[in-house]
């Protein structure tokens, strides 16, 4: 069975028209919701999408043989840096409700990962309220954590800062993983949002490695998207710093989990060697950035499952861990959770 831990919701245009309306009136017309019907949600999953190579979300999953996908908001749409902050609250709640409805309309195919209303006008205690709602009311199995709620416009507290502790407390209380994944990126930042993802995930891993977070929260579960940014691939440089602190970088990295959304077989194999197969989970972000065909192979760039199957160094047990058992353990997915089961 293939469990993809890195997916994002495919929603109809009405959700983003709702966002545009919120930004236009800045709350003066109150919160009317997006008004999306079930039929429109189904259509968004089944209609060919030019942004995804002219193929629908479900067709991408079917072609790849992905049985279950964990879906979260499209990160670049989350508008954490917008003001007033209640607009972020409204849009996040609406998006999470859309995700919950998609999961209900496609039972056994999707499980929800919550977006958090990470406006810096409030803070982690307020963000945790939406996390609790999504886990207790919608059955979501984790939450996206954006290390940069300012979206490139200011310097946020590092993840090692006690500022974040109320969120770590809530994740431990609910026993769900936090999934490190950056969101949008705005001027004056120099990078685009794709580079921002990798940069912020690198900074997140570095901050956690040099902190007491996992000592203070020994049951905290953190999954870092996109293979952990640069850290596993530049680990020699960071290993030297760890030695100076009297630590081993390998031990620090193995306090976290990492997904395989890397798009090349050599990068995936390197990640697994760096952190261990038991700390890696299959993630494709399909459909998304990688949904374009490689002219050399004819495959989709985000056919991560094919890349993993091509790596000769992996055993059948390794692939089982990557594709299924690690995800079941980390996200506490019941054995009956599978496409086509009741």
pTM: 0.95
Q: What does the pLDDT look like over 79-115, one tens digit per residue?
A: 999 999 999 999 999 999 999 999 999 999 999 999 9
Nearest to 168 by CA among 117, 228, 223, 220: 220
pLDDT at 338: 57
Chain CA centroid to CA 131, Å: 14
Q: Which CATH architecture has domain 3-331?
A: Alpha-Beta Barrel (3.20)
* Radius of gyration of the chain, Cα coordinates, nearest whole angstrom: 19
Report whether pLDDT(33) > 90.
Answer: no
Report whether pLDDT(335) > 80.
Answer: no
Catalytic site residue from 82, 130, 285, 324 = 285
Residue 120 to residue 83: CA distance in whole angstroms: 9
* DSSP three-state, residue 151: coil
Q: What does the pLDDT look like over 129-181, one tens digit per residue?
A: 999 999 999 999 999 999 999 999 999 999 999 999 999 999 999 999 999 99
Residue 329 to residue 5: CA distance in whole angstroms: 12
pLDDT at 336: 57
Chain CA centroid to CA 262, Å: 13
Active site residue 285: yes
Domains in the chain: boundaries: 3-331
Summarize the confidence of residues 36-61 as an average pLDDT.
96
Dihedral Cα 51, 57, 59, 65, nearest 10 deg: 120
- The DSSP code for 300 is B
């Amino acid at each position: 069975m293939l469990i993809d831990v890195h997916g994002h919701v495919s929603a109809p245009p009405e959700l983003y028209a709702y966002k545009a309306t919120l930004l236009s009136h800045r709350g003066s017309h109150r919160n009317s919701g997006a008004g999306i019907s079930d039929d429109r949600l189904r259509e968004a999953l089944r209609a060919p999408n030019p942004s995804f190579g002219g193929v629908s979300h479900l067709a991408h999953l079917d072609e790849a043989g992905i049985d279950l996908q964990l879906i979260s908001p499209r990160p670049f749409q989350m508008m954490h840096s917008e003001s007033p902050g209640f607009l972020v609250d409204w849009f996040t709640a609406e998006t999470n409700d859309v995700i919950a409805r998609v999961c209900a309309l496609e039972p056994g195919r999707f499980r929800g990962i919550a977006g958090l209303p990470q406006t810096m006008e409030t803070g982690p205690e307020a963000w945790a309220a939406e996390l609790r709602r999504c886990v207790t009311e919608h059955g979501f199995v984790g939450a996206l954590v954006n290390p940069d709620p300012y979206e490139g416009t200011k310097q946020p507290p590092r993840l090692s800062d006690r500022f974040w502790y109320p969120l770590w407390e809530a994740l431990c209380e609910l026993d769900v993983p936090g999934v490190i994944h950056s969101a949008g990126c705005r001027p004056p930042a120099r990078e685009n949002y794709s580079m921002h993802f990798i940069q912020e995930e690198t900074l997140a891993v570095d901050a956690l490695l040099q902190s007491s977070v996992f000592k203070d929260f020994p049951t905290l579960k953190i999954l870092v998207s996109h293979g952990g940014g640069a850290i596993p691939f530049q680990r020699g440089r960071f290993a030297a710093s760890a030695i100076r602190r009297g630590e081993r970088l390998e031990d620090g990295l193995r306090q976290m989990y990492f997904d395989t959304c890397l798009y090349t077989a050599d990068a995936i194999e390197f990640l697994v060697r760096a952190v261990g197969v038991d700390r890696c989970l299959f993630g494709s972000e399909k459909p998304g950035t990688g949904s374009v065909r490689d002219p050399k192979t004819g495959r989709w760039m985000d056919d991560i499952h094919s890349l993993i199957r091509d790596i000769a160094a992996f055993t059948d047990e390794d692939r089982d861990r990557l594709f299924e058992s690690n995800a079941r353990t980390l996200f506490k997915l019941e054995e009956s959770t599978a496409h086509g089961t009741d």
